[in-house]
Chains A and B, each alone.
Chain A
Amino acid sequence: MSWLTPTMQELMLEAFLETLAMVGASAAIAVALGLPVALLLHVTGRDGLSPRPWLNRPLGLLVNALRSTPFIILMVAIIPFTRLVAGTSIGTAAAIVPLALAATAFLARLFENALREVDGGVIEAARAMGASRMQIVLKVLVPEALPGLVAAVTVALVSLVGFSAMAGAVGGGGLGDLGIRFGYQRFMPEVMATVVLVLILLVQGVQSLGDWLVRRLSHR
């Protein structure tokens, strides 16, 4: 990156690490929270293992509400909650809270779709063998959906890279923020170009890794 000054290079590295931290941490939280939510949505759904409309509908509504709120608005709207969780409302840690929340809702739906793809016949076979509902979830549903779940995480990671560009609004830093502040506001096209290039490489890398994992897990 000789076309950037040493200072810019340092800033670029720092921003890259911030993006990685924001995307990685929020994705980890989103997977941990999104999978149980997706399982709950799937299992309590109309054709699920134990239909519970009183639980399924409000949960589905909540997920939809989070998904339909534009991220930039969500980020500002939940500042009190962010302060409660992260102890601050500015900086990388503060950006992780709204990112994780948005990604949880997003992933919950993607995970739910992946679970829905599991062949109902395999579940029926497990029931016929005397499997309990818990066994069906843990030994059939999740393992059979695994390639789909990994594909969903890949999609979410790529979206998170995009969302994280808005983290600058709460002082979260990251590549997007760097691009706006230096590339756009200070007319440094070489910075903007580098930011875009790094983001493209990052997204490509994530996607390729995800695709490779899905292929390895599928056995098709």
Chain B
Amino acid sequence: MPAIRLAGLSRRFSPAAPPALDGVSLEVAQGEVFGIIGRSGAGKSTLIRCVNLLERPDSGTVEVLGERLDTLAEPALRQARRRIGMVFQHFNLHARRTAAENIAFPLEIAGIGRAEREARVRELLPLVGLEARRDAFPAQLSGGQKQRVGIARALASDPRILLCDEATSALDPETTGEILALIGELRRRLDLSVLLITHEMAVVKAVCDRVAVMEAGRIIEEGRVFEVFTRPQQDTTRRFVAEVIGHAVPPGTLARLPQPRPGEARRLVQVLFAGPHSTRAVVSEASRDWGLDMNIVSGRVDEIAGEPFGVMALAAYGPPEKLDGALAWMRGLGLDVQEIAP
């Protein structure tokens, strides 16, 4: 049974506008962190709001832990929502309640008595590292601390599912890292299934197991984060991946590369090293065995979802048939070799 199963969700806000959701289906497995990435207006906000029916889809079904939510009447839906935690971009804390009172709020809504609420808040505060700030009001907290309150509040009623709506988009990069690390840690400790939406590929890279790319209300690409990063299929995905990995070679650098000697050719390629050959000395083997001159224009090695992975831009010089042979050999090793337009 998946944690979340969405099938054929469509939503159109006005007959004239393009649909916000256009037949979206996805499954989030239990215990995984699933990311949805897209530009603003891609429909990801509408999609995550459909999971707890804050937004009602025009058509399609919503299942959470095996229970159909879209057919529930209001009182039953309210009960179901208590089992789904949600974290927001702008924290959405009550300005006139302290951190502890904010965290206790969902319990108050659920009609839980004061003593039990306080006991639960005492458990939650250390979980998000806010013991010292329990009586502070939101205005006295930093952005990161506010989001910690938001996370503790989302976890107050002990949900199995956590929805993160751009949870780090209002935070600086360092704080983003801390909050993402916290979400990752809490997921493991509390056995949560997390659905998060973001417009930053770095967020996906940091915490997600799987990712779906959204554009114009549809999911255009989906897969394990490592696969999507190393073998993006769609242009939009490539652009997102490039944000983090920096595949593109600056045009100025390309222009400054030497021209090939007469009778020789130049090929500009980007090579992705992933899997078993990611640590092989491909460049020196190719230049030695095929008699080529290889100029490394840019390169870096990184780790995505715990797997090593490198990307390199090469300018290769030599006789055209030798160049073709060397590139074919590299492809034969299972490396992803793509020509860069000069």
CB distance from B215 to the nearest CB of A (A): 25
Q: Which of B105-113, B194-202, B203-211, B297-305 contacts A (4 or more CB under 8 A)?
A: B105-113
Residue from A126, A131, A144, A219 within 8 A of B137 (CB atoms): A219
Could you say which residues of chain A place their CB within 8 Å of the CB of B105?
Answer: 126, 129, 139
Among listed A20-28, A116-124, A154-162, A196-204, interface-contacting one:
A116-124
Contact of A121 with B139 in the complex, beta carbons under 8 Å: no
Query: In the assembly, what is the distance between CA of A48 and CA of B129, in Å?
Result: 36
Could you say which of B29-37, B81-89, B247-255, B283-291 contacts chain A? B81-89
A16–B340 CA distance with the chains assembled, in angstroms: 87
A125/B88 in contact, CB under 8 A: yes
A139–B107 alpha-carbon span in the complex (Å): 12
A127 at the interface (CB under 8 A from B): yes
Residues on the A chain within 8 Å of B86, using CB = 125, 128-129
Q: Which of B77, B90, B94 contacts A140, CB < 8 Å?
A: B94
Query: In the complex, are the beta carbons of A122 and B92 less than 8 A apart?
Result: yes
Q: Which of B81, B97, B138 is within 8 Å of A128, CB to CB?
A: B81
A184 vs B88: C-alpha distance in the bound complex, in angstroms?
A: 62
| Contact of A220 with B94 at beta-carbon distance under 8 Å, contacts A129-B82, A131-B78, A139-B108 already known | no
The docked-state distance in angstroms from the alpha carbon of A172 to that of B250 is 83
Report which of A131, A144, A217, A220 forms a contact with B109, defined as CB distance below 8 A. A131
Bound complex: CA A126 to CA B108 (Å): 11
Does any Cβ of B come within 8 Å of A130's Cβ? yes
Chain A residues near B84 (CB-CB < 8 A): 128
Q: List A residues 178-220 near B (Cβ within 8 Å).
A: 217-220
Say how far B101's CB is from chain A's closest CB, in angstroms. Answer: 10
Q: Which residues of A contact B138 (CB under 8 A)?
A: 219
Nearest chain-B residue to A120 (Cβ)? B92
**How distant is the Cα of A124 from the Cα of B71 in the complex, in angstroms?**
21
Interface residue? B256 (CB, 8 A): no
A169 at the interface (CB under 8 A from B): no
| Contact, CB under 8 Å: A217 / B96 | yes
As a 0/1 sequence over residues 200 to 239 of chain B, the CB contacts with chain A under 8 angstroms (1 = contact) are: 0000000000000000000000000000000000000000
With beta carbons under 8 angstroms apart, the residue of B109, B139, B153, B163 that contacts A135 is B109
List the B side residues contacting A135 at CB < 8 Å: 109
**Total inter-chain residue pairs, C-beta < 8 Å:** 72
In chain A, what residue has the closest Cβ to B136?
A219
Q: In the assembly, what is the distance between CA of A45 and CA of B82, in Å?
A: 27
Cα distance, A220 to B84, chains bound together (Å): 30
A12–B110 alpha-carbon span in the complex (Å): 56
B92 touches A130 (CB 8 A): no
Residues of A within 8 A of B109 (CB): 126, 129-131, 135, 139
**A124 with B92: CB separation less than 8 A:** yes
Across the interface, which residues of B come within 8 angstroms of A130, CB to CB? 77-82, 106, 109-110
Is A146 an interface position by the 8 A CB rule? yes
Asked if B257 is at the interface of the complex by the 8 Å CB criterion, the answer is no
Measured in the bound complex, the distance between the Cα atoms of B93 and A217 in whole Å is: 16
Given the complex of chains A and B, what is the CA–CA distance between A144 and B46 in angstroms?
Answer: 26
Give the CA-CA distance A146 to B95 in the complex, in Å: 11
Residues of A within 8 A of B296 (CB): none
Interface residues of B in 118-142 (CB under 8 A from A): 137-139
Q: Is B168 an interface residue (CB 8 A)?
A: no
Question: Does A143 touch B at the CB level, under 8 Å?
Answer: yes
Interface pair B52/A128, CB less than 8 Å apart: yes
* A7 close to B (CB within 8 Å): no
CB of B54 closer than 8 Å to a CB of A: yes
Measured between beta carbons, the chain B residues less than 8 angstroms from A2 are: none
Q: List 5 A-B pairs, minimum CB-CB distance, nearest first.
A: A121-B92, A130-B81, A125-B92, A130-B78, A219-B137
A-B contact pairs, 14 of them (CB 8 A): A121-B88, A122-B95, A125-B153, A126-B105, A129-B82, A129-B105, A130-B78, A130-B79, A130-B80, A130-B109, A130-B110, A139-B108, A143-B94, A218-B95
